[in-house]
Amino acid sequence: MRQKKKSKGVCCWSMLALVVLAIVAVILLVVMVKTDEGSGSPGAPVKKYADALKLAMQFFDVQKSGKLEKNQIDWRGDSGLKDGSEAKLDLSKGMYDAGDHMKFGFPMAFTATVLSWAILEYGDQMQVVDQLEPARSSLKWITDYLINAHPSENVLYIQVGNPKLDHSCWNRPEDMTEKRPLRQVNTSAPGTEVAAETAAALASASLVFKSVDSTYASSLLKHAKQLFAFADKYRKSYSISIPEVQSFYNSTGYGDELLWAAGWLYHATGENSYFQFATGKTAETFGNWGNPTWFSWDNKLAGAQVLLSRVSFFGSKDVSNNDVLGKYRETAEAVMCGFLPKSPTATESRTENGLIWVSEWNALQQSVSSAFLAVVYSDYMLTSRTAHISCSGSTFKPSDLRDFAITQANYVLGDNPMQLSYIVGYGDNYPQQVHHRGASIPADENPSCKDGFKWLEADTPNPNIATGALVGGPFLNETYIDVRNNSMQGEPSTYNSALLVGLLSGLVTTSSVVQSFA
């Protein structure tokens, strides 16, 4: 039987099909390349970072005060229920800052700002590993408190509890009986840095909740604007107004908080007045251009420089060409150059094995905060297709910054000389005697203020696991002494946890896409 000859039309359609298939293949290849460069949807999770992120998020639950909802920590219960009552306020929520039962507004607000930033940059990646809702929930636990702590335009309650009384006790938060006095800043006793940081927290959080609860977001923004106006009009350090804070969370200045808050308010509102503030006289006074600084609860300059670089990378032409904005970006790049170990301007503040190390107390704060900023800046470069930064003649790619961040994260997870995970609950080898009152006392005990010290002095593992706690970290010689009363190395904090969550969220998938905050 003879085959029929193929018609000319069939032949042409076959050729067309091949061309279409070729075009589709090219498009798919481009999409794959873009995803590899950080321009696609979140990729597959990196298991070790996903596991660590899930643990780190749980530490916020460990630290919660108030009437607990959907409590995931079986050894924690309600506490601080009457906090704020002396001022007829409900200050029961919020979080204890570290291993004690104090609520310090300055570091708590910073915790909220950083957690908001992490969600805004990496919420899509958090979602991939089911951590977006826990992050929002923990953030709201703090911002509910901060709203209540701001009962009028020029009054902000910045502390619950007496540090000396609190530190003279060793018991569970559920068993507290000591007085819980309040401290406030106001027009007679201003506190520019704490008011500005709280404004930054509420402004950034308003962006987080804008798409899920617009009414709540509007309330957050209203308080943020009022607090910023208060901070700016009555300029005075809270460390001067309230000298007792110098022993705990002493501030070294408020200029960084003003710029940080103005940057967040500009992102939250788009209002030119905040942009002008961030790039005007205050910026020239406090910008410290060209001089890299460490990002911490006390100094937000490096964070402000990276945040305002975002406007330089992605803002409209009428603002992105601003000269002062260029100074923010240049200084942010100087900060990045300091992180990179092969840079001519690399900081010498690091251990022999490459961990950024600045201070014996809470050593991991600077390593984790540096890595977080590096991941964020790397993603800004990727999304804007900025090929490199220049460090005194040497050039470095976005991947170099990400690789640096990975070294810091891996060190924290156990890639260090002691092969010790500094996140409680991660891996097989992590600190067992964390400096944390609630974790150190059996849940079925209710010791008095003084009786609990026997558990501080006990040489046994904590009976409760402070899941996800990031301890203070190693000494410069990369050793760690796992003894409960070693608060220098063994005390965790919520602000370190927020930075860790930001870092892990930036690394948890292979894709890093910068989205608009608006």
Whether 435 sits among the annotated catalytic residues: the reply is yes
Distance CA 56, CA 256 (A): 28
Q: Is 184 helix (H, G, I), strand (E, B) or coil?
A: strand
Structure tokens at 337: 């150059």
Among 376, 421, 382, 412, residue whose Cα is nearest residue 398? 382
pTM value is 0.92
Choosing from 101, 267, 435, 436, which is the catalytic residue?
435
Predicted confidence at residue 2, as pLDDT, reads: 34
Predicted confidence at residue 20, as pLDDT, reads: 41
Distance CA 356, CA 333 (A): 17
Q: What is the DSSP letter of 158?
A: E
Predicted confidence at residue 518, as pLDDT, reads: 62
Q: How far is CA 15 from CA 3, 12, 22, in A?
A: 21, 5, 11
Tell me which residues of the chain have a pLDDT lower than 50: 1-39
Cβ–Cβ < 8 Å for 501, 53: yes
Q: Across the strands, what pairs with 495?
A: none
- The per-residue pLDDT of the chain, averaged, comes to 92
Distance CA 493, CA 72 (A): 19
Which of these CATH numbers, 3.40.50.150, 1.10.8.50, 1.50.10.10, 1.10.10.10, describes 44-507?
1.50.10.10
Fill in the amino acid letter for 78: D
> Where do the domains of the chain lie?
44-507
